[in-house]
Amino acid sequence: MGLLEGKRAFIFGVANDKSIAWAIAQAFHQEGAKLAFSYSGESVAKRVIPLAESLGAELLIPCDVRNDAEIAQAFTVVKESWGGLDILIHSIAFAPKDELKGSFVNTTREGFATALDISAYSLIALAREAAPLMTGSDGSIITLTYYGGQKVFPNYNVMGVAKAALEMSVRYLAAAMGPDGIRVNAISAGPIKTLAAAGVGGFNQIAGHVAEKAPLRRNICQDEVAGAAVYLASPLARGVTGEVHFVDSGYNVIGL
């Protein structure tokens, strides 16, 4: 029997087969979870629909997380189809490309608002809608973050600020939702080549540095993040909430 047998998981953030959320979906499927996917935009839909179908996903729901009505509608569909929810995956981030290069001093008001809205506030908005559906004894909400929310990395800029807000939101949500048996955690992944990562200037330089300096002397892959997500979503982690769990070849422990 799988670690997530019969659990109902709603996954936000699959854009293509390189997405971290896709690796998480595959691992959840292997462990016996039922899957619902959300996607944003028609071009993403073309890639996500065949992927979702290949895992026998029960639900495939459009949702732009900037839109409260679409979020409410997405969770209404889940409620009507499944009657409840056990796991929510938030694997979403966005900042305008110009904000992810050059000096942080040039961060625009609009770019800041967009990055924080899509990459951080959306976790709160999704968690609020998920809460009434998570009536079992162990609900699990997992988001994806990056070390650039704790330390300064070249070009990560406003996304670092958004990740800092996201990580603090994890702690506040964990405190707010814990009494209802809902756990909220983040996985801080090392650099992985995905669509989102391609938008960050100098990504290859960061990945090369990690491979050279991290204790494991290599970068991580999507599957390794998925393994941590299975753990955090499963009863094995039933005592764990409010954590930022690093899956980064140990890079974050190195000083010099």
Nearest distance from C-beta of residue 29 to ligand NAD, angstroms: 17
- DSSP assignment of 18-50, as one string? T-HHHHHHHHHHHTT-EEEEEE-SHHHHHHHHH
Asked if residue 65 binds ligand NAD (CB under 6 A), the reply is yes
Nearest-angstrom CA–CA distance, 76 and 136: 18
Q: Is 72 in the site for ligand NAD (CB under 6 A)?
A: no
Nearest CB to ligand NAD, comparing residues 111 and 191:
191
Q: Which of residues 177 and 187 has its CB atom nearest to ligand NAD in the complex?
A: 187
Cβ within 8 Å of residue 37, ≥6 positions away: 11, 14, 25, 48, 51, 52, 57, 59, 60, 61
Binding-site size for ligand NAD (CB under 6 A) equals 26
Pick one of 59, 116, 189, 229: the residue that binds ligand NAD (CB under 6 A).
Answer: 189
Q: Pick from 4, 8, 9, 13: which binds ligand NAD (CB under 6 A)?
A: 13
Query: Can you tell me which of 94, 153, 246, 251 binds ligand NAD, judged by CB under 6 A?
Result: 94
- Structure-block tokens of residue 12: 């936000």
Query: Alpha-carbon distance 17 to 48, whole Å?
Result: 8
**Binding of residue 244 to ligand NAD (CB under 6 A):** no
Is residue 173 within 8 Å of 119, Cβ to Cβ? no
| Per CB under 6 A, 139 contacts ligand NAD | no
Which member of 35, 78, 93, 226 binds ligand NAD (CB under 6 A)?
A: 93
Exposed e or buried b per residue across 37-51, where buried means at least 16 C-beta atoms within 10 angstroms of its C-beta? bbbbeeebeebbeeb
Structure-block tokens of residue 36: 């619902």
> Hey, what amino acid is at 95?
A
Does 19 bind ligand NAD (CB under 6 A)? Our answer is yes
Task: Rule CB under 6 A: say whether 226 interacts with ligand NAD.
Answer: no
Specify the residue, 2 or 125, whose C-beta has the smaller distance to ligand NAD.
125
Q: In the set 78, 116, 126, 144, which binds ligand NAD (CB under 6 A)?
A: 144
| Nearer CB in complex with ligand NAD: 192/214 | 192
Torsion sign across C-alpha atoms 92, 95, 100, 105: negative
- The neighbour count for residue 63, using CB atoms within 10 Å, is 23
**Which sequence positions are flagged as catalytic?**
146, 156
Binding footprint of ligand NAD on the chain (CB under 6 A): 13-15, 19-21, 40, 44, 64-66, 91-94, 118, 144-146, 189, 191-192, 194-197
